[in-house]
Amino acid sequence: MDISIYKGKKIMILGLGREGIDSLLFFLKKCPKNEIAAADKSQISCLDPAVKEILLKNSQVRIFLGSDYLSALDGYDIIVKSPGIPIHIREVEQAYKQNKIVSQASIFFDQCPSPIIGITGTKGKSTTSSIIYEILRSSGRKVFLLGNIGTPMLSYLDAADKESVFVCELSAHQLYNLKKSPHISILLNIYPEHLDYYSDYNEYIRAKANIAVHQSKNDYFIFNSAISEVANISLVSMAKKIAFNEYKWNWNGKTNLIGGFNLENAKIGAIVGRLFGISDKIINKAIVEFKPLDNRLEFAGSFNGIDFYNDSLSTIQESAVAAIGGLGDRVYTLICGGFDRGQPFDKLAAAILDSNIGALILFPTTGIKIWEELQKQVKFTEKNERFSAIAPFFVQTMDEAVNLALSKTKQGKICLLSAASASFNIFRDYADRGNCFKKCLVMQTAKSGKLKNNG
């Protein structure tokens, strides 16, 4: 690890979330003589108690909090920006122009001597990353699962050596402005998302492209050639290319994964396993034993003869469409809608009209937009009879949504929470939304005294 490049530099940690604190602790340990600062838009009273304790224990750290937290950027040589800090703020844009801003991902990639497997995509990256990790772990490799899945990277640099393998889930925010690509890069898909963060869809695509554009001929790029945005990125990668959608892999085993899209994720795991020389026997066993992650088509239980599925991580219409298709004709009630990022709902409306869904439970603010898109599509199709069989219910709370789901869903059918929208207008995040869904199910059924959880 070459820390000499930071010698004598004034370093600011911008953003004090999980990744920002990991960066702060890294530089306090590795560069104790440097001038170090931390900045966040939250006031100190609003910070996590563990974060406040770290700041108080390290009195040499200069702190900039509150509405003017960006005011001191000019005074620092290196700014380690957390992914959640917007890129299109005047002070941040200026720092980018001055080449001051780096990310935790870029520091990790520059300093890590181990092979890195990087996985990105609008949807599916957590499941794919976890499958790859389990396959490598099952083979006896020294492997770490880091990144956007919830484990910051820098604190693991001390464990890095040539025998280690790092599986890194990478968001577009982490890839933005990245100058080095992983040894094995995986790009699952690209759909419109985070349009409130980027200036337009093309900027989002360019951020995703950094997973591949800096690769060499000694690297591997695993990608979906059926998606034009992804196929175009493959043209600029110098790596050996593997189109996973065209890869021959015959799977006949049982699995806990639901839907063809999840079997594609498992196939990618098999491809990576084979690149590492792992036997198909070990690969297949790891896939058979793999359990779906929380909030990703997670079976939440069977209540009163109704099966409930929690797909709260669905924040775009494509993932909701995939969930409906994966669960099939038994889906009767769909809970969707949420924070409006300006995304379309045409595919979701078409999927609803082609399904057996009879009850739509809709959260603000996109719930009304989803219903309006259904009305719009019916005008140009011959599906008026199908449309008339769908009952909309507009709700404000998860308690209302679950109560309606229990009363409106037919026995033997499925109620699916797959919002096709972000959660921030009502819930803290997608995990909070999913947990609230499961808690409300338990509370509602406990109140009635008649309903049974068979999950």
The alpha carbon of 172 is separated from its chain's Cα centroid by a whole number of angstroms, namely: 9
pLDDT of residue 447: 72
pLDDT of residue 455: 44
pLDDT of residue 451: 45
Domains and CATH numbers, the chain: 9-102 (3.40.50.720), 105-289 (3.40.1190.10), 298-448 (3.90.190.20)
HSE value, Cβ hemisphere, 13 Å, CA-based, for 38: 27
CA distances from 20 to 12, 130, 154, 216, 351 (A): 10, 23, 10, 30, 40
pLDDT of residue 453: 45
pLDDT of residue 253: 84
Please provide residue 219's backbone torsions phi and psi, each rounded to the nearest 5 degrees. Answer: -100, 175
Q: What's the pTM value of the predicted model, to 2 decimals?
A: 0.92
DSSP H helical ranges for 180-279: 201-209, 228-234, 260-275
| 94 within 8 A of 30, measured Cβ to Cβ | no
pLDDT of residue 454: 42
Ranges of residues in the chain whose predicted pLDDT is under 70: 448-455
pLDDT of residue 449: 56
